[in-house]
Amino acid sequence: MKPYRSAIRYLLLTSALVTLPVAQAYALDTDAFGTRVKAVLAAQGAEINWTDISEDGTQVVLSGVTINGKGKPDKANLGDVTLDNVTEENGGYKIGTLSFQDYTSPPEDGMTVALSGATITGFTVPPENATDALSSMMMYESAKLASLSVKKGDAEVFGMQDLHMEITPSAEGKPMEFSGAAEGFTADLTQTEDPQSKAVIEALGYQNIKGSFEMAGSWQPTDGHIGLSQYDVTVDDAGTLGMTFDVGGYTTDFVKQLQDIQKQMAAAPEGADNSAAGMQILGMMQQLSFGSASIRWDDDSLTKKVLDFVASSQGQKPEDMANQVKAMLPFLLAQLNNPDLTTEVTEAVNTYLAEPKSLEISADPDKEVPFAVIMAAGMSGSPQDLIKTLAVSVSANAD
């Protein structure tokens, strides 16, 4: 048996010698890691602190974490944050998963906010010597929040379940893509304090509402096009409000300028005048261009309920109220001095009120319009020119 025992001892010894350098290779310099995390967040105007930082191989635990705006006294106590699969990457760090403890805010004006099941995966802490705006940004691949609850006393006034976001980084010339959703949310509107609003809510039957949320979009860093292809908020038994937009000029250089202004504002003492930074941002807006935008309502019984309520409050029939709206609309639109748009809007509203399905307002010019032109038109007080420039149109019950 001695030869077998000797072989086993030899195997155990050699295994230990082989795995030792591997374990040492994964040892993380927690001081350097913590310093970098604080520096990156400080550049974004946030201060993060912890009472202790410890590592066990590729796992790092931050104990007693607090975060607040730089120079702001109010701090959010996040408790312990666990970081799994932390590795150095190109001078920065890659974190496989961040897991947060459940959190409940201190009561403020009788309101508390509670978060649970928060995780972030594929989180990147950029290196100190990052040369461009894209590589100097904190990025992540996905984020999840199991639930969010806002309470007034013991009553929940708003709740959200299964909120998640996903990001596909830009690579090989392809745009960055992002999407997200909240699979469900609830709101208790009986807590509304304004008597008139409360009466309307009760009349429409929306004391407690349920719904969901979805979004999707993309950003092409090379040419600065950022677009929101979907942003839909749905309320059950009411309808869906959707928005889209496309903007050009949001390049990495633009992002870098924004980051520099954020650093200036973060470095300024509390109460400092930030009007100069505001003017800088206003000036930067002129680098952007407008591609398109839309806002759409898909009805699911809300329109009929509103017509019934308004008509009832005025002692009329719903169809009479609809006819009054149709009759008044051309006169209200006459001040735009745009006969074509007036006709288009009138026809669209007439179609919608006859059979409420969808109503959409869109702006889709033949070519991108510089924000400078839009700002100038807005300040000139001539909305009719801006409407023509942006090619605004209105349609009803379109697919």
Task: Choose the most confident range, by mean pLDDT, from 29-43, 142-156, 163-177, 305-319.
Answer: 142-156
Alpha helices for 26-111 (secondary structure H): 30-43
Pairwise pLDDT comparison (24 vs 328), residue with the higher score: 328
**Cα→Cα distances 108→48, 113, 150, 159, 201, Å:** 22, 9, 11, 18, 26
The predicted model gives 4-27 an average pLDDT of 39
Work out the pLDDT band at 161, boundaries 50, 70, 90. very high
Residue 239 CA, distance from chain mean position: 21
Structure tokens at 293: 């935008």
State what percent of residues in the chain have pLDDT above 70.
89
Task: For the chain, give the mean pLDDT.
Answer: 86
* pLDDT (0 to 100) of residue 376: 82
- What pTM was estimated for this model as a whole? 0.84
pLDDT tens-digit series, residues 3-14: 334 433 333 333
* pLDDT (0 to 100) of residue 71: 66
Q: At what angle do helices 30-43 and 252-267 cross, to 10 degrees?
A: 100
pLDDT at 276 over 60: yes
* pLDDT (0 to 100) of residue 132: 65
Strand pairing class (176-188; 208-220): antiparallel
Alpha helices for the chain (secondary structure H): 2-25, 30-43, 195-204, 252-267, 275-284, 302-313, 318-333, 339-354, 371-380, 383-389
Domain borders along the chain are 302-396
Task: Choose the most confident range, by mean pLDDT, from 75-79, 245-249, 368-372, 377-381.
Answer: 245-249
**Cα→Cα distances 395→307, 319, 325, 360, 392, Å:** 20, 21, 17, 5, 10
Work out the pLDDT band at 395, boundaries 50, 70, 90. very high
Give φ, ψ of 263 to 5 degrees.
-65, -40
The predicted model gives 175-180 an average pLDDT of 95
* pLDDT (0 to 100) of residue 282: 82
Q: In this predicted structure, which of 109-113, 172-176, 255-259, 379-383 has the lowest mean pLDDT?
A: 379-383
* pLDDT (0 to 100) of residue 269: 72
The predicted model gives 263-270 an average pLDDT of 72
Pairwise pLDDT comparison (105 vs 134), residue with the higher score: 105
The predicted model gives 116-138 an average pLDDT of 83
Structure tokens at 45: 């105007």
Query: Which residue(s) pair with 158 in the sheet?
Result: 150, 187
pLDDT at 93 over 60: yes
Pairwise pLDDT comparison (135 vs 126), residue with the higher score: 126
Helix (H) or strand (E) holding 273: none
Work out the pLDDT band at 18, boundaries 50, 70, 90. very low
pLDDT tens-digit series, residues 216-239: 999 998 889 999 999 999 999 999
Largest CA distance in the chain: 105
Pairwise pLDDT comparison (22 vs 268), residue with the higher score: 268
pLDDT at 174 over 70: yes
Which of 22, 66, 32, 29 lies closest to 48 in space, CA to CA?
66
Question: What single letter denotes the amino acid at residue 139?
Answer: M
**What sign has the CA pseudo-torsion 281, 282, 287, 288?**
positive
pLDDT at 23 over 50: no
CB hemisphere CA count around 8 (13 angstroms): 5
